[in-house]
Amino acid sequence: MPSIVQELSGHRDLGGLRKVVECPAQATVLREGPAQDSGPGAAWLAYLCSVHAVDLDGWPGPAEHPDTGTMPCGTVLDYRSGEQQLQSHADLWLTPLTGVDPAAHEGAWADVLDQADRVLLARVDEAAAAGEDSPLQNILVLMDVARRAADRGNLRVAATSLTYCEIFAQSL
């Protein structure tokens, strides 16, 4: 018998694993994201505690299912394409952190990530000039990996690198 995750994902391969909120609680709810644009299954599945299930109520999803703490709160199983995952990163943290809007680059993710990298590097340089360390240094290394992967057209690798950046960005 297939698990609820297999059923909700349409038996698709996992495209990404994310941790979108920092929370020590175990999940009590499995939120099913919207349907995939192409093919069966949900675009993503989010494991949330009762507090974050309410806090993230704006996340679109057709259904919620009870969960018995199978994953930590904030864990998201992402079944979307690399480009869709990159857009999600931009929406959730990259654009708010850097001011770089993907719409201004007409879907050229290598350009988006290059510009975001430049913004972050300038901020790290400003901090260094003031004799300070910047927590953005942790993001820069992985942003460079994402930028180079996007330049080669490998948006899934770029999205995976941004997943690590997202974790660092949560602590800012």
Residue 118, number of CB atoms within 10 A of its CB: 14
In this prediction the pTM is 0.86
Mean pLDDT of the chain: 88
pLDDT at 85 > cutoff 80: yes
Interval 163-172: pLDDT, tens? 999 988 888 8
Residue 104 near residue 98, CB atoms below 8 Å: no
Interval 29-77: pLDDT, tens? 998 888 877 777 888 899 999 898 887 766 777 778 888 888 999 999 9
Q: Can you list the domains of the chain with their CATH numbers?
A: 4-78 (no CATH), 82-170 (1.20.120)
